[in-house]
Structure formats: structure tokens, C-alpha cells
Structure 1
């Protein structure tokens, strides 16, 4: 665990997220985003291959690094996965991907989880060099904790055996305490991959709470008050100021290893990028 950021620069090398519909927003935000920033491109059910490719090409054109998602349970066949990987390779967007299980409760094809995609060997075959995998500091509403831990260890091991670089991107959180407790458990299990802590960018309070409840993230009155908003007033907006200050204050490079931030842009790429720029000037 070398070259880890210090407690005062967790914002160094942050990453962002966009959907296939956010190209115009990316155009507007591009001047605010540092060159080389990683931008994850989602793999949602209401998007098609061309939308995902167009978003990845747009990220590249802005001097940024596309990290296309691969949603295992949305893939209908090995051929569909190969078509997607081949298209990413042709677009020059194959270097980094994020392999995730995806939302569907039942797989549409042969891949029941992201580990099965990694184990297929197709990522390396098509030129992928870096693979992000998911982490869940507050658990997953549909997956038992022991299964999550086994899967995390299995994916890390499979990446290492294939010579692929790995990164863990966590689900977003409102509270630093479960995040740090989870990171310590990850390190205690001998998993040394860099971790990107999921942080919600500035957005409407009602929208943030809705996403939190959907993904089983703590959104009780105590936690959200600590974060900086109230469940009794859902009409305003909130940014992650308090959370990031708490993360920077509690971060211990020796204990936690390499850690960065990943912004979920629920309020849009431009709003998030503007907030990051203002926060960095404070």
C-alpha cells in the first residue's frame, strides 16, 4: 500500500459517474474536470450499446478516462459481452471497466454476478487492464454479508491471477463511521486494492433519500442530521461537505491504505463539478 494519499488530499484523483444520457451535461462540465479524471459510464436497462459507446467516446474526447460499466445480469449471452468489449476496444475505451452484478434479480444470460464475467477471461482477452469492482460498507439489501465478503475476496484473487489491476468502488454513504469500519475489515482480510469511497454529489434531499432507501443505505434521522439535512424538510439540496471533512479527518493512510473518492452525480455532472471546485478552494 504505497503512494497513498494523506488525510488532507482524499480529493486527489477523484472519479465521477455519468449515464448515457449525460453527454450534454458532460460538455458543460468538461472545463471544470481535471484532465485524466476517471468517469464511470453506467450500464442501465434503459440504455443501449450505442448510447454507452457515445458516452465513452465523449469522455475520451474531453481528455478524461472512460470507465464503462459491465452489468453482468443484464447480459443475455457471451456473444453480447464480446460485442460490447469489441466495440469498446474499437472506440479506444477498453483500458478500464467496472464489473458489477447489476439490478435485475434474475440474470438475463449466463452471468449471475460480476465474478463470473471476470472469470470468463474475456476482459483481459479484449485488452482491459484495470477492473473496478463493487464494495458495500453498509451491506446489500438482497445479498448476505458473508456472500459479499466471499465475492470480494474471490474477485480480488481472480484479478490478481489474471494480472489485472483492481480498484474497489463503494456504494455511496452518508456516514463515515461504517465506511471506515468496513475498510478496516477489507484490509484485515488481506485485500490491498485501492478503494474509492462513494460520495453523493450535491442533489435534492428527497432524491438523495430515495436513492439511499433503494440501495439499503442508512438514512435514519440521526445519520442524515449528521450529514447535514433533515428528513422533515425534503425540499432543499445538500452537498457532501460534512461527510468529506469527516472522511479526511478520520483517514489514516497506514491503516486504510490507498483511498480516493468517487462521486455519484445524482444532481448532475456540472453541479457536482462546480461543487468540487468550490470545495477545493475553501
Structure 2
């Protein structure tokens, strides 16, 4: 029960600004103290994301803006976004990603450029989140990923920040657990958030996996233990979560928490996970 409580009580969410604006304020208690990563997507502006921070603060959540290095146009733009988030709104956590564009929009090629550029101020920011890739990355060699993961964690810790790793979406519990064990064997002992999808159709999961650059298919989902009968079947991560709880009991995985990718509706995703937690 202690492990279950740790996983659920420390759970975080991913949301677009649009998702945040659609969340019913009458259900604000569901978001009290919950860390929410605000996605950095091309069809939403900085002002949209800042307004989402305001909405989340009103709902009692803990907003964590995602900073996408390759989408930042200039050092001045980055400084402005950080200042408006931290100094004006009191945000204490940010999440760094490299970003999808093949050609950087500005001077930053990856999140390490931001980390080593003195843009993050420990007095203003307490925790920095970074991404982990249990299934690898289609454009980056595995050993490069490991080298940079260790470099980012060690650099951020040396600068005085708390660090968290959130895994990219994966449907194979064995791959995730094996990856976590290697992280620990590399001497990295910061909290790890395991990224999982909320219930949706098989088609919705496969489409989201493609966006996340994660290889999957109906056959692979079935092989990994996901129960489905057709492309329109609504499925959730029940078995994945059951297996994760079991593995955290069997192995010394350290501080493990959950990160939920709500596919389509933030309120419905939170409702499902609360019902799952209470039902087990």
C-alpha cells in the first residue's frame, strides 16, 4: 500500500493550454497540488501557455511549463518566458525538452544548451524535469542518450536544482523496468515518473504513440498484454499499472511515480485514475 500511495499521491499530468481551459472549475479539488506539465505545441502561443499557468494556479494545481529548446526563437524570448512564469507567477518548476523541429528556430539545439546557459536560476526554480527514453529515440543513438541523461542530471544537481525524470510513453512494462534498473545502476537516484496513457480507443493510443515517436501497433499492444478486440476498443493501462506495482515490490527501483498523458479529456482521465486507485 505504501508503494501504491507513493505512485498515486505523487502523480503528475500532461496538458495543453486548451485542455486546461476546458477543465471544469467545479472539480478544482481534483487538481489540488497536482503537478501539471503544460505542453509546448506549435499551435499554442506563449500567452496561451501563460494563461494556462494562471488557470492552473486558480485551480490549486502546480503548473510546470515545458520549455522546448528547438522552438525558442532567441535568448531574449527564453528569458522573457522564464521571468513571466517564475518571477510574475511564482512557478517553481519547469520541464526541459529538446523539441521536435529538425532545424532549431533559434540558438538552442537541445535542452543542455539551456542548462549550461545560465538561464535557470536556483533561487527562482526549485525543480527541473527532463525526459527519459526507455524505448530509445528514432534519431539519437542509445549511448548518446545515456551520456546526455547523466550529464543533464549531474549538471542540474551541481547547480543546486532538484531533478526529476519523466519517461516517454511506453507500452512494454519489461522495457520500462529494465531501463529504470539501468538508470539506477548508472548512479542516478532522482525520482522517475513513468509515463502512461489515460484510457482511450486503440486508434487514439496508436496515434498518440506516433506523435511521441514510439513504435507500436495492435499486434505489439496485444503482445505487451493490452486487452483489445478492435481498433475502436476503449482500453486503459490497468494491466500495465498492475505489473508496475508488482515490479516495484520485487525490485529496488527507487523513487517511482506516475505521469499521466490524458488522451482527449483531462477531467475524464483524472476520474478514471481515482476510480482505479480506489478500486484496487
Aligned residue runs from structure 1 range 73-84, under 5 A: 73-84=70-81
Moved more, 232-241 or 137-146: 232-241
Q: In structure 1, the residue corresponding to 2:49 is in which secondary structure?
A: helix
**Match of residue 226, structure 2, among 202, 225, 228:** 228
Matches within 5 A, 1:174-253: 174-225=171-222, 226-230=224-228, 233-252=230-249
Give 1:113 shift: 0.5
RMSD (Å) for aligned C-alpha atoms: 2.0
Q: Could you list the runs of 5+ residues in structure 1 that have no partner in the other structure?
A: none
Would the alpha carbon gap of residues 159 and 63 (structure 1) be closer, same or farther in structure 2, given more than 3 Å must change?
Answer: same
Query: Residues 53 and 104 (structure 1 numbering): CA distance in 2 closer, same or farther, change over 3 Å?
Result: same
* Structure 1 residue aligned with 2:259: 262
CA shift digits 1:129-165 (9 cap, x unpaired):
1100000000011111111111101100110111000
* Count of residues in Structure 1 that have an aligned counterpart in Structure 2: 277
Moved more, 216-225 or 112-121: 216-225
Q: Kindly indicate whether residue 41 of structure 2 is the aligned counterpart of residue 44 of structure 1.
A: yes
Contact 1:9 1:248 in 2 (8 A): no
TM-score normalised according to structure 1 size: 0.92
Matched, 1:120 2:121: no
Give secondary structure in 2 for the equivalent of 1:207. helix
Contact residue 38 and residue 64 of structure 1 kept, 8 A: yes
Three-state SS of the structure 2 residue aligned to 1:262 is strand
Match of 2:30 in 1: 33
Matching residue within 147, 152, 174 for 2:149 = 152
User: Is the 8 Å Cα contact of residues 28 and 60 (structure 2) preserved in structure 1?
Assistant: no
Distance 1:126 1:100 in 2: 21
Matches within 5 A, 1:30-109: 30-31=27-28, 33-109=30-106
Q: 2:15 aligns with which of 18, 21, 41?
A: 18
TM-aligned CA deviation for residue 90 of structure 1? 4.0
CA distance in 2, matches of 1:86, 1:156: 23
Determine the C-alpha separation between the residues in 2 that align with 1:58 and 1:251: 35
2:66 and 2:59 mapped to 1: Cα distance? Answer: 19
**Which residue number corresponds to residue 130 of structure 2?**
133
Say whether the 8 Å CA contact 1:141–1:215 is kept in structure 2.
no
Q: Quote the Cα distance in structure 2 between the aligned partners of 1:254 and 1:239.
A: 24
Gapped regions of structure 2 (runs ≥ 5): none
**Given the superposition, is the C-alpha separation of residues 278 and 32 from structure 1 closer, same or farther in structure 2, using an over 3 Å criterion?**
farther
For the residue of structure 1 that corresponds to 2:57, the secondary structure is helix
Structure 1 counterpart SS, 2:167: strand
- Asked if 2 retains the 8 angstrom alpha-carbon contact of 1:29 and 1:269, the reply is no
Partner secondary structure for residue 124 of structure 1: coil
**Bigger RCO (CA 8 Å, 6+ sep):** 1
SS at match of 1:147: helix
Aligned 8 A contact 1:135 1:152 in 2: yes
TM, length-normalised to structure 2: 0.92
